A and B are shown apart, each in its own frame.
Chain A
Amino acid sequence: MTLAILCRRAFSDLRQNFCAQLITTMVVSLSILIFAFFTLLYFNLQHFVDRFGAELGLVVFLSEDTPKDRIPSLYQKLTGLSEVEKVTYISSEEAFGRLEKFLKDEKEVLEGVDPRFLPPSFEIQVNRAMFQLKRIKQLAGEINKWPEVSKVQFGQEWIDRLYIFSGLVRTIVAITGLLLLFTAAFVVTNTIKLTVYARQEELKIIRLVGATNIFIQGPFLVEAFLQGLMGSSLALGVVFACFRFFQGIEAKSELLRGVNICFIPWQYTVAIIASSVLLCVLGTALAMRRSLRL
């Protein structure tokens, strides 16, 4: 049997059983839609955590007894690190000025205090492309061992918390995804079973005239492939439309500006479509096992 005959029969079946096919496609679409929304949420959270971590950066406090002539060489050493994007030196005086600014009207409390009581420091901006919490922790540990350094500070606690949260979201997304995929598989299998049951007589006759299993099953598998493809594409299309809508809101809103929401990476988008297609095809093959007996 040629592929052309198989496809012609599949499209003819699609026309004749349009409602049943549409219902199956909608079920697939809704399941993928919910899953895709969770995935979108997860990726944006992950994106936020990464960005937040990178923006926090590192603050390297120097010992009070660090000679001033060591500052340029330390600066050079820091800028030479691959994880570092930008290094800013903050002298004790500058730090004092910042504190005064921060205290505003209450800066009198600093009266009589030595402007050099705050230690000089380096503010390090981490290279975003290379941002990894584990690496930043390592880097902080390495810098902390330098004799001139008294303390290295970064928002470790915050980042740790965010990572735990994003891990939780990832687990929720995975469990929800699995449940939704099982639901979709169950509904697809049963819809196909109903379709096969409704067309039992027709399949019997087709078998009678010498049709092979692939002739009988082939059109159903093509239909399942299309259902999976169209259902998931439709769902991802809706999610993408929502994403663009939120992007528009983000651009207009002062509060949300800079949030920089992102879409599901293309590799995951392809994986979602492929899983949906596979699910429909396998569900159909499973549903048709009995009808292929002699």
Chain B
Amino acid sequence: MFVFFPISSFQYQVSLPKYKINNMISIESSIILLKDVSKKYSTDNVVFSGIDLEIEKGEFVFLTGPSGAGKSTMLRILFCAERPTSGEVWVDGVTLSSLSNAQVPYLRRKIGVIFQDFKLLSNYTIFDNVALSLEVIGLGKKQAEQRVMQMLEGVGLAGKTSHYPLQLSGGEQQRVAIARAVVNRPSIILADEPTGNLDLQRTEEVIMLMEELNARGATIIFATHDDRLFENTHRRVIRLFNGRIRI
């Protein structure tokens, strides 16, 4: 059983970014907005087309669909790892098409991303893996140390700060990945099959962590192909099927 985040260590920012981007829109409650978004790699390889989607601030949604439905691609578009073929995407008031490559990192700092394969740096200690997100934003060493320790305590890994990822179990590694994704207090968390490699107990732990983060104000998009994770939930489920959304 893991320990929940200490309340004092976790306050979400849901304000607009500090940097100036010309093409910003004012959306009262939407934090993510997709309008007529399509993504195709070639004429016969269309991932999805004509997608309209709105996600409100503080919402926790499940994004589901069979393998290859485009869940990961949609998330990759949201954190600017890919650009849509057509349509417009707004994230936290920012029009992604107007975002230059130099501005992308600043948007990414407002988005925490969690992956199925954890994507931890194997040559970094657990502490350094989590601290990376803070180092990137230039937080002072002392402040960063304090915040990383609080975060690792929150995910129940305070005793393993000097361990390396491969010395931890899958569940522990995913908790490190979650800690890294949320340590800089992003307003949006994108989880791409975060429980895909975990057993039932560890999956429950991750879901509880996500619930906890959502309760603190984070907007969460949880991509999974596992129906069991949301069958008894009141959360909105977005189904991607044949390149279209079915709600």
| Chain A interface (Cβ < 8 Å from any Cβ of B) | 1-2, 5, 9, 16, 201-202, 204-213, 215, 293-294
Contacts and interface: CB of A to CB of B under 8 A. Distances in A.
Contacts of A204: 119
Contact of A1 (B104, B132, B133, B138): B138
B79 A208 contact: yes
Interface string B68-88: 000000000001110000000
Is the contact region of chain B dominated by helix, strand, or loop, or is it mixed?
A: loop
A206 B123 CA distance: 13
B138 A209 contact: no
B201 to A, nearest CB: 27
A212 B102 contact: yes
B6 interface: no
Interface in B1-35: none
A202 B129 CA distance: 11
B232 interface: no
Contacts of B135: 5, 9
A206 B135 CA distance: 10
Given A16-B123, A210-B108, A294 B101 contact: yes
A209 B102 contact: no
B105 A205 contact: no
Given A210-B108, A212-B105, A294-B80, 7 more contacts: A1-B138, A208-B108, A209-B132, A209-B133, A209-B180, A210-B184, A211-B136
A209 B119 CA distance: 11
Contacts of A2: 138
Interface in B127-142: 132-133, 135-138
B132 A206 contact: yes
Interface string B90-110: 000000000001101111110
Listed from nearest, the 3 A-B pairs whose CB atoms lie closest are A210-B109, A210-B108, A209-B133
A294 B133 CA distance: 17
B137 A210 contact: yes
A16 B132 CA distance: 16
8 contacts: A1-B138, A16-B123, A205-B120, A208-B113, A209-B136, A210-B137, A212-B102, A294-B104
Nearest to A17: B123
Nearest to A213: B102
A113 to B, nearest CB: 93
A253 B137 CA distance: 65
Contacts of B123: 16, 202
Contacts of A213: 102, 105
Interface of B: 79-81, 101-102, 104-109, 113, 119-121, 123, 132-133, 135-138, 180, 184
Contacts of A294: 80-81, 101, 104
A5 B134 CA distance: 11
Contacts of A207: 105, 108
A9 B102 CA distance: 21
B177 to A, nearest CB: 10
Contacts of B136: 1, 206, 209-212, 215
Contact of B119 (A9, A205, A211, A212): A205
A243 to B, nearest CB: 43
A216 to B, nearest CB: 9
Contacts of A206: 132, 136
Nearest to A212: B105
A253 B23 CA distance: 80
User: Which of A202, A204, A293 gathers the greatest number of chain B CB atoms within 10 Å?
Assistant: A202
B179 to A, nearest CB: 12
A210 B119 contact: no
Contacts of B105: 207, 210-213, 215
Contacts of B108: 207-210
A11 to B, nearest CB: 14
A1 B105 CA distance: 13
Contacts of B106: 210
A199 to B, nearest CB: 9
A201 B122 CA distance: 10
Nearest to A292: B101
Contact of A205 (B121, B138, B184): B121
Nearest to B123: A16
A205 B133 CA distance: 10
Contacts of B113: 208
A141 to B, nearest CB: 66
A111 to B, nearest CB: 96
Nearest to B183: A209
Nearest to B128: A12
A274 B136 CA distance: 30
B119 A208 contact: yes
Contacts of A16: 123
